Amino acid sequence: MQFGIFTVGDVTTDPTTGRTPSEHERIKAMVAIALKAEEVGLDVFATGEHHNPPFVPSSPTTMLGYIAARTERLILSTSTTLITTNDPVKIAEDFAMLQHLAGGRVDLMLGRGNTGPVYPWFGKDIRQGIPLAIENYALLHELWRKDVVDWEGRFRTPLQSFTSTPRPLDGVPPFVWHGSIRSPEIAEQAAYYGDGFFANNIFWPKEHFIRLVELYRQRFAHYGHGTPEQAVVGLGGQVFMRKNSQDAVREFRPYFDNAPVYGHGPSLEEFTDQTPLTVGSPQEVIDKTLTFRDSFGDYQRQLFLMDHAGLPLKTVLEQLDILGEEVVPVLRREFAAGRPSEVPDGPTHGALVARRDAEAGEGSPVPAGSPA
């Protein structure tokens, strides 16, 4: 199982000091957080994509390429790549290039984002969000798997005898997650292609996400990719920790109360009771995260949001120390205990290459995370 962090790259005023970091400071902080993630033994760093204030990660592959040059083991991913407003040709080429630079330590999560105005900024119609996601990914999927592509669809100019360059590393495209907060069509899309499905699992009660994950697992099996238990699932989470839970609540409360997304809404206590947010001791984080398996079954990737709402870099790095030293080692051990052998591991480039070779030799699908 893979553990990591994801960021949305918000530039938010620290409510305890009134200080707002510059865009430059926030970008450099995101890099420092990624490097710290590898240092403390995490597996994945994922960045969002936004094209509006107060967010800075407008060019995820630029940032991930820089981080790739400064890391050796960390899987570099996205917490959203906008499949609706980016040109699939550009996604195909950018992420294939990143694959080569990072030695295969790359995957990506496709999504539609949560900023409505981004659609007209890029010449798209928000009312076509789902059809755009479906058609654009169909083209992206083909670009990575065919050397020469002829294409005609509704939303972009036709392609004639087009080859995207560079070709994917080892002839194997990056693993794709389809992320969704609310759309069953995206769970269906992930299942159809045999890709991964990532449930945000932050802002809504778990019952909502359970329905999406169950739909994905059922349809994954329907399309012949394996059993429901072999479907590749990722979950989000959100934590803030101190040695004593009272200290964690006291320190995090002003950040929660003023957070751009959920501030001035439900109380911290209501939110932690009704959503996966955990504010407390490391043991409380362990206990609550382990309940995710009861709700969603065995899964492959757990990402935590830890650097938002104006939290200073020093605090985030402290949180990563706690996560890497006290929480993740226990989670690895506990999630591994009793995990059925047929449940695939988290996807890696090496596993995907082995899967491709096995399918070429046997002619039958192999689960995406299966070891060589």
Gyration radius of the chain over CA positions: 20
User: pLDDT by residue (tens digit) across 156-209?
Assistant: 999 999 999 999 999 999 999 999 887 899 999 999 999 999 998 777 778 889
Count up the domains in the chain and report the number: 1
More confident residue, 265 or 219: 219
Identify the domain containing residue 126 by its residue range: 2-361
Asked, for residue 367, whether it belongs to a domain, the answer is no
Q: Residue 333 above 60 pLDDT?
A: yes
User: pLDDT by residue (tens digit) across 36-87?
Assistant: 999 999 999 999 988 888 999 999 999 999 999 999 999 999 999 999 989 9
Q: Residue 285 above 80 pLDDT?
A: yes
Asked, for residue 117, whether it belongs to a domain, the answer is yes
Asked, for residue 218, whether it belongs to a domain, the answer is yes
Asked, for residue 72, whether it belongs to a domain, the answer is yes
Give the rounded distance of the alpha carbon of 334 from its chain centre: 22
Tell me, yes or no, if the pTM score tops 0.85.
yes
Q: Cα(318)–Cα(337) distance, rounded to whole angstroms?
A: 28
Asked, for residue 371, whether it belongs to a domain, the answer is no
15: domain CATH number is 3.20.20.30
Asked, for residue 366, whether it belongs to a domain, the answer is no
Asked, for residue 89, whether it belongs to a domain, the answer is yes
Asked, for residue 315, whether it belongs to a domain, the answer is yes
67: closest CA among 27, 94, 40? Answer: 27
Average pLDDT over residues 203-221: 90
Convert 286-351 into a string of H (helix), E (strand) and C (coil).
HHHHHHHHHHHCCCCEEEEECCCCCCCHHHHHHHHHHHHHHHHHHHHHHHHCCCCCCCCCCCCHHH
